[in-house]
Amino acid sequence: MTFPALFIHGDAPRVRIRTISHDELPGEGDTLVRVEWSGINYKDALAVTGEGPIIRGTLPFIPGIDLCGEILETTAGEWRTGDCVLQTGWGLGETEWGAYSGVQRVNARHLVRLPVGLSSKHAMIAGTAGFTAVLAAMAIEEAGVGPDAGDIVVTGASGGVGTFAIMALAHAGYRVVASSGSKANRGYLKSLGAYRVMDREVLETGAVRPLDSGHWAGAVDSVGGKTLEALLSQTARHGCVASCGLVGGEGFASTVFPFILRGVRLQGIDSNTCPNLVRRKVWKRIAALTSVYDFDSLAEQVAFGGIEAACQRILTGGHTGRTIVSPAETSTPGG
């Protein structure tokens, strides 16, 4: 059995696509999956371009942190040939060869069964980004912040996490404010369910004082840095800020005042090692979103030849929604 795979090399050209056989797939995984769809996340963009130290395996290495497809063979008792499964995270595309391969060897304990009502394409349109967004929405709910508590702000709104956070929160009845650097995307963000769009510069300047007016009942933050500083100072009593990302910076300064005078909760979100029990709940919620939203309209589709350029677009900020990858196609317009 042969199939195409995208490799990262230590010398130029960094990205090379070649045909390999399943015998060349390393690892101790007990399950072989035919990859139907994958996606490109911010982490994948860092890995493919080399802009961030994501790959921790030996080069040449296959990146890609999300895959969805069909089991070709397995020795794991609970699975059968033909089962439709997905894997996001658990080191896929970081420590283990990843999703940008027609077939991949994985560990069955990291797989989630594709829920009823969710196609493999739609699962990858959500991908790690959508999964993370739903985890963040669930963190806000679990903090006791209900839809009547006030506005929830979503930062980095046009991106993958932002797009799905708006959808998940609006679908659950929250009033969502989108914070975005893109004027062109205002209509897009409102169509997802945001009732107001604000310029990201408002939060980017950071906290004006340790405790500012409590504008937000909660926040889903993909930006970090000064934006997170501002969010903590502007979150109302017993609100919850779900910290997901760092596109605007990894460091931030704060005081204890939001925590001890307002009971604000800063909740970290880690999609990579999220337990499988929680994963199954999240994927069911993602499946439910497909009956309300047109997932196909949220994603651009590329073949392996288009991955590198798509990753560069993500890192330069000119990116809206999601990008998915089809190993079945060998070329793409402009790819």
Ligand X SMILES: NC(=O)c1ccc[n+]([C@@H]2O[C@H](COP(=O)([O-])OP(=O)(O)OC[C@H]3O[C@@H](n4cnc5c(N)ncnc54)[C@H](OP(=O)(O)O)[C@@H]3O)[C@@H](O)[C@H]2O)c1
Query: Can you list the alpha helix ranges (DSSP code H) found in 92-185?
Result: 120-142, 160-171
Does 247 engage in binding with ligand X (CB under 6 A)? Answer: yes
Out of 31, 101, 120, 180, point to the residue binding ligand X (CB under 6 A).
180
| Other CB atoms within 10 Å distance of the CB of residue 9 | 12
Q: Which residue is nearest to ligand X (CB)?
A: 159
- Bridge partners of 19, per DSSP, are 4
CA atoms within a 13 Å half-sphere pointing along the CA-CB vector of 74: 22
> What does the per-residue mask of binding to ligand X show for 279-308, with x meaning CB under 6 A?
------------------------------
Out of 130, 245, 258, 327, point to the residue binding ligand X (CB under 6 A).
245
Out of 57, 64, 115, 248, point to the residue binding ligand X (CB under 6 A).
248
Question: Which part of the chain contacts ligand X (CB under 6 A), choosing from 71-79, 97-105, 137-145, 266-274?
Answer: 266-274
Which is nearer to ligand X, 181 or 210 (by Cβ)? 181
Q: Are 218 and 243 in contact (CB under 8 A)?
A: no
Is the Cα dihedral 218, 249, 192, 285 positive or negative? negative
d(CA 220, CA 134): 10
Does 246 engage in binding with ligand X (CB under 6 A)? Answer: yes
Which is nearer to ligand X, 114 or 161 (by Cβ)? 161
Count of residues interacting with ligand X (CB under 6 A):
32
- Of residues 33 through 52, those in contact with ligand X by CB under 6 A are 41-43
CB of 88 to ligand X, least distance (A): 9
Out of 74, 87, 182, 332, point to the residue binding ligand X (CB under 6 A).
182
Q: Which of 54, 209, 88, 235 is nearest to 155 (CA)?
A: 235
Query: Can you list the alpha helix ranges (DSSP code H) found in the chain?
Result: 42-49, 120-142, 160-171, 186-192, 201-204, 225-234, 257-262, 276-289, 307-315
CB of 14 to ligand X, least distance (A): 20
Three-state DSSP class for 32? strand
Binding residues for ligand X, rule: CB under 6 A, are: 41-43, 128-129, 132, 156-162, 180-182, 185, 200, 222-223, 244-248, 269-272, 314, 317, 319
